[in-house]
Amino acid sequence: MKELFSIVEVDLKPQYREVYLEAARAMIDAHRADPGLIAQAIHVSPTDPGHCIITIAWRDAHALKAHCDSQSLKTFLKETAPFVARPSIMRTYSIEKEQTLL
């Protein structure tokens, strides 16, 4: 099975930035022990404070599907929808090859 790496781009309404970030960090913390989740983090753009990137590494497609199907993710997306300026974009990539960096 191939590991997967997802990148989610989120553009926030300025007045809801802090509320969204707090909810997103809580969601990330709540899912840290999920089976198949390797790593997850949220990054805020240094040039556009309303633009966030969420990065997630998965053991395999089953782990990603379980997360996407989880009630907690569905609830998070519903509750934070008013904070988002436009639909978020998620791109998922298959990790074909590892390289060691010096």
Q: pTM of this prediction? A: 0.87
Q: How confident is the model at residue 96 (pLDDT cuts 50, 70, 90)?
A: confident
Cα gap 66→34, rounded to integer Å: 9
Question: Which pLDDT score is estimated for 101?
Answer: 80
Q: How confident is the model at residue 46 (pLDDT cuts 50, 70, 90)?
A: very high
Mean pLDDT of 47-68: 95
Please work out, in degrees rounded to the nearest 5, the angle formed at the alpha carbon of residue 31 by the alpha carbons of 39 and 19. Answer: 100
pLDDT above 90 for 27: yes
Give the residue among 86, 85, 56, 48 at the shortest CA–CA distance from 73: 56
Q: How confident is the model at residue 71 (pLDDT cuts 50, 70, 90)?
A: very high
Give 81's contacts (C-beta < 8 A, 6+ positions apart): none
Question: Which pLDDT score is estimated for 100?
Answer: 80
